[in-house]
A and B are shown apart, each in its own frame.
Chain A
Amino acid sequence: MQEGKVLPAAQINRDLLRSILETPRWFWPVVSILGLVVLAATITIGIMINTGLGITGLNYKVVWGFFITNFVFWIGISHAGVMLSAILRLAKAEWRRPATRAAEVLTIFSLMTAMIMPIIHTGRPWRILYWAFPYDFARGIWPNIRPPLVWDPSAILTYLTSSTLFVLIALVPDFAVLRDRTTGWPKIVYTMLAMGWEGNPRQWKLQIIAGVLLSALILPVFVSVHSIVSWDFGMAVAIKSWHSTVFAPYFVVGAVHSGVSAVVFAMILLRWAYGWQDYIRHEHIDALGRLLIVVATGWFYFLVMEIIFGIYGLEGDELAVRALQFLPGEYGVAYNVWMIVFVGITYFLPVILWLPKAWRRNLWIMSAACISVNVGMWLERYLLFVPGQANKQFLTFTWNDYLPRWPEALIVAATFAFVSMLMLLFSRVFPLVPLYDIKEGDILRTEMQIGRRKLTATFRED
């Protein structure tokens, strides 16, 4: 049964456009603080490029540390957009309506943030051009398409382009509403973006069909992106614990797990910040909580499979990495303790919190569970990548463990500030909850009397 009341369209406009037409008092101070953190990280990146990666904790043995962990983490978060928007749109799930836009926008900003990580990780970012793009025809320099490190930018750029277009197409009707409510240069910009939208049946039909086509086309991109990211590791024969065939689905499901959790947390924050209690309702958070139990359990299955596949072959190097992960630390770093913490906060704690209906409807508990998942998923990537590199191998004459230093910690922290700042700035110029989607849900809604109960139901056209 659906909750909440049917609201007049004028009120929906007023409530959901408030973030654009009025500036809350907290807005600029919060954006400024986030901006300062991003500025500090930008300066640090400048210092790092100038002096070299030696100022980080990366070393001869462990070359992929915080930056690559953070890259995979943000790619994972980006999977929420398509998961929620495309799948639920194709399935015509009613409760998708308030969540889709925020999820899609989170996808775009997460992808942008993720892409920064490997670029700065190279130490000489300009060289990325030589590796990834077939641009220098005169000198006959072409990228080598055989390693997954080149598939990565092609898949991520495809995903970023698709997601951006997906959001823009879905925004067109809302641009038209803004066009009619603004003056001066904002009106000019919204008029251009609205592309002459007037809301006639032909335009609506094309817009809906384009949405369905794009949803269907983005889904294979969504699956391929994190599969390819997993192959960055899975195809590295030299690092034993990475050479796993189960990585692609394991990464994709893990990405959905962390991404949907991030969307839930973002929705709770938006509800609180902009007073959208009538739009982001407990029933929506409840439905996402139920979905997360299934996704989390799927992820846990792949986690166990990944470990079992690693141990089952009884290869010496592979067993050594597993020993490093699960037994007391050889180099003084207690990976085994972190492994217990990671599994606990990524699966057991949140799933226990999501099981009772009353807890799924408690926004504090849901926030805590979703933050817990994301801290855990960040740790997961770290524990997947670093022990494999730190493990002592045959004929390796030097080996080290990895301890991140302040530049990495600051840059990683700043990525969270960066995404939050971009989300806030987006909410200042574009509606983060789709107006027409909410209104459509309301006009299709009706009340039904079944026996002695009166239920709210929504019509769905086949």
Chain B
Amino acid sequence: MARQAILGLFDDASAAADAGDALKSAGIPESDYNFLTDVPYPEGALGEGMERHRLWVWPLLGGLVGLIVSLLIGSMSPLAVPMTIADKPILEMPPLSVICYTGALLGAILFTVVGLVLALRPNISNRLSDDRISQGMIGLLVNAGAEQGSNVTNILNEAGAVDVTNA
């Protein structure tokens, strides 16, 4: 069934939150609408559900990978090309720990960014948007079935939308 994108613009967070509640009451699932803002509003301020994430797993995983890789490079390189300097052992813990420390942190940081990019699910295709959102307005983007279109438009208007546009 064809679906259409409808964007309502609000100049007040409470009105946008009311519109979200009205959509929910009208039987539109939360996954079918999204608030669009130019600032991070405190979580739940717009009546949206709490988002769960597992971003914290990535630095742990990355740290472990970085540690293992740097441990391998740090231990294999002196063993591959042994250089005897004074009475120092070929494989020394202090330098190895410095390399491992740096490697683990690098791994953790790289994996965090990879995890973030994957979680953001980049999609650069054109979507219904409005420049007024970056000027402080709050957008409520509804992905509604064709038969729900007029109902959604009414709900947005009744909640106090400044403007409602269809894709």
Q: Is there contact, CB below 8 Å, between B55 and A440?
A: no
Nearest-CB distance from A15 to chain B (Å)? 13
> Would you list which residues of chain B between 29 and 44 have a CB under 8 Å from chain A?
34-43
Nearest-CB distance from A293 to chain B (Å)? 31
Chain B residues within an 8 Å CB radius of A146: 78, 83, 85, 88, 92, 95
Residue B105 lies at the interface, judged by CB distance under 8 Å to chain A: yes
Residue A124 lies at the interface, judged by CB distance under 8 Å to chain B: no
Name the residue of chain B whose CB is nearest to the CB of A191.
B124
Q: Is there contact, CB below 8 Å, between A201 and B53?
A: no
Instruction: Using known A-B contacts A165-B113, A202-B51, determine if residue A155 contacts B38 with beta carbons closer than 8 Å.
Output: no
User: How many residues of chain B are within 8 Å of chain A by beta carbon?
Assistant: 61
Instruction: Using known A-B contacts A154-B99, A158-B106, A217-B105, determine if residue A208 contacts B40 with beta carbons closer than 8 Å.
Output: yes
Q: Is there contact, CB below 8 Å, between B116 and A224?
A: no
Cα–Cα, bound, A158→B40 (Å): 29
Cα–Cα, bound, A436→B133 (Å): 12
Q: A134, A147, A180, A208: which contacts B77 (Cβ < 8 A)? A: A134
Q: Of residues A146, A154, A180, which shows the largest number of chain B Cβ atoms within 10 Å of its Cβ? A: A146
Q: Is there contact, CB below 8 Å, between B131 and A201?
A: no
Name the residue of chain A whose CB is nearest to the CB of B136.
A9
Residue B135 lies at the interface, judged by CB distance under 8 Å to chain A: yes
Name the residue of chain B whose CB is nearest to the CB of A155.
B102
Q: Is there contact, CB below 8 Å, between A440 and B112?
A: no
Interface size class of A (residues with CB under 8 A): 35 or more
Chain A residues within an 8 Å CB radius of B134: 9, 13, 176-177, 180-181
Q: Is there contact, CB below 8 Å, between B102 and A158?
A: yes
Residue B46 lies at the interface, judged by CB distance under 8 Å to chain A: yes
Nearest-CB distance from B112 to chain A (Å)? 5
Cα–Cα, bound, A258→B100 (Å): 29
Q: Is there contact, CB below 8 Å, between A205 and B53?
A: yes
Chain B residues within an 8 Å CB radius of A162: 105-106, 109
Chain A residues within an 8 Å CB radius of B43: 201, 205, 461
Q: 1/0 per residue B129-166: CB within 8 Å of A?
A: 10101111001010000000000000000000000000
Instruction: Using known A-B contacts A177-B38, A191-B124, A440-B40, determine if residue A151 contacts B102 with beta carbons closer than 8 Å.
Output: yes
Residue A140 lies at the interface, judged by CB distance under 8 Å to chain B: yes
Residue A209 lies at the interface, judged by CB distance under 8 Å to chain B: yes
Chain A residues within an 8 Å CB radius of B36: 198-200
Name the residue of chain A whose CB is nearest to the CB of B126.
A191
Q: Is there contact, CB below 8 Å, between B124 and A196?
A: yes
Name the residue of chain A whose CB is nearest to the CB of B114.
A165
Q: Is there contact, CB below 8 Å, between B39 and A217?
A: no
Residue B81 lies at the interface, judged by CB distance under 8 Å to chain A: yes
Cα–Cα, bound, A198→B34 (Å): 10
Q: 1/0 per residue B56-99: CB within 8 Å of A?
A: 10010000000000000110111011010100100010011011
Cα–Cα, bound, A220→B83 (Å): 31
Q: Is there contact, CB below 8 Å, between B123 and A10?
A: no
Residue A410 lies at the interface, judged by CB distance under 8 Å to chain B: no
Name the residue of chain A whose CB is nearest to the CB of B58.
A213
Q: Is there contact, CB below 8 Å, between A144 and B39?
A: no
Residue A214 lies at the interface, judged by CB distance under 8 Å to chain B: yes
Q: Is there contact, CB below 8 Å, between B133 and A199?
A: yes
Of the A-B pairs whose beta carbons lie under 8 Å apart in the complex, a sample of 15, sorted by A's number, is A9-B135, A134-B77, A140-B80, A142-B81, A146-B92, A165-B109, A169-B116, A176-B134, A180-B131, A180-B134, A194-B124, A198-B36, A210-B115, A439-B39, A440-B40
